[in-house]
Amino acid sequence: MTRVFLDDARAPHPLTPDYLGRTVTPFLSALAVLQLVADTIREQDDPLIIEQIGSENGRLQVCLTGAGAALQFAERELPRWRAQHEDVVRLMNELEEMLSWLGESETRERILIEREDLRVRLQPDLLRLVLDYLSHVSPNVPALGQVVHIDRLLAAFHLLASSALTMAVITT
């Protein structure tokens, strides 16, 4: 079993249904997508299964089985990628926060356009991260075999990279 500690850069949060649904579940679902792609490519079955979720010393603790490839890569590469793109990711998150409380307006439209411009700016580097993951999972996968997974992985890595959650993995 693997214990994953998730820390929220914004502040510790109680485990409310809203927090789990808006922040934790999408993060874990993105990791599950990474593992699903790895399993598909490797023709194996090692899905991410949540065995237990709780809080310990103000940190969210998730006990998992499976997802070895996804966890190993994400723990090693995400912090480095986030550090390189910290300013853009922070600005995207700030724009996202603004959108959550703005109604329909010209301001909202400008923010949506600005957020999309930032997303497009990050896309080449995010694509490199996806290709690195595919290479990590199976270095011998032909390019055509990789292409079918890129859209799905881009969406998952975008969510992981822009999340306020960071993780530490402890395998027992």
- For 75, counting Cβ atoms within 10 Å of its Cβ (0-12 exposed, 13-18 middle, 19+ buried), the class is middle
| Structure tokens, 155 | 């969406």
pLDDT at 59: 84
CB 63 within 8 A of CB 50: yes
Alpha-carbon span 102 to 99, nearest angstrom? 5
What number is the average pLDDT over the span 71-95? 92
Alpha-carbon span 27 to 137, nearest angstrom? 20
- Across 86-90, 130-134, 143-147, 148-152, least confident range: 143-147
Which pTM does this prediction carry? 0.88
Average pLDDT in the chain: 89
Percent of the chain residues topping a pLDDT of 70:
98
pLDDT at 41: 87
CB 72 within 8 A of CB 79: no
